């Protein structure tokens, strides 16, 4: 089975711009979660989508949003970028049904905000 894929792998943006990151989960997985990883704050949960609905949300401002499509692919969007948004954004997929399943992570998108 193919693993979780994320595109693009690297992005450079300037403050005030917006960005969209994409994630394709493992085939058959219906849950997609997003995490932000920074040296200062570590790994932090952004949100989780299951069957096109946001099921859980972390403590991030409204500039961070996401969506999931009927094929389980997910996108996250960050508007009005700030320098502090520079991070590795990781997407994880899991079956999403029943008990808490293991999450499998993609390679991440490294976002640099100048």
Partner 1 sequence: AQKVTQAQTEISVVEKEDVTLDCVYETRDTTYYLFWYKQPPSGELVFLIRRNSFDEQNEISGRYSWNFQKSTSSFNFTITASQVVDSAVYFCALSSGGYNKLIFGAGTRLAVHP
Q: Which is nearer to partner 1, 17 or 75 (CB)?
A: 75
Query: Kind of pairing, strands 42-50 and 53-57?
Result: antiparallel
**Exposed/middle/buried for residue 48 (C-beta within 10 Å: 0-12, 13-18, 19+):** buried
Torsion of CA 37, 108, 74, 102, to 10 degrees: -80
Residues 43-102 that bind partner 1 (CB under 8 A): 43-45, 48, 50, 55-56, 58, 88, 90, 92, 94, 96, 99-102
Q: Which is nearer to partner 1, 67 or 88 (CB)?
A: 88
Residues that bind partner 1 (CB under 8 A): 31, 33, 35, 42-45, 48, 50, 55-56, 58, 88, 90, 92, 94, 96, 99-108, 110
């Amino acid at each position: 089975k193919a693993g979780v894929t994320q595109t693009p792998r690297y992005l450079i943006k300037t403050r005030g711009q917006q960005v969209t990151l994409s994630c394709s989960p493992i085939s058959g997985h219906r849950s997609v979660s997003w995490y932000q990883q920074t040296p200062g704050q570590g790994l932090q949960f952004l949100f989780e989508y299951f069957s096109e609905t946001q099921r859980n949300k972390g403590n991030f401002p409204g500039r961070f949003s996401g969506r999931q499509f009927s094929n389980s692919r997910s996108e996250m969007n960050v508007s009005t970028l700030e320098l502090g948004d520079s991070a590795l954004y990781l997407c994880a997929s899991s079956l999403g049904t029943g008990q808490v399943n293991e999450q499998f992570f993609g390679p991440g998108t490294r976002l640099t905000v100048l």
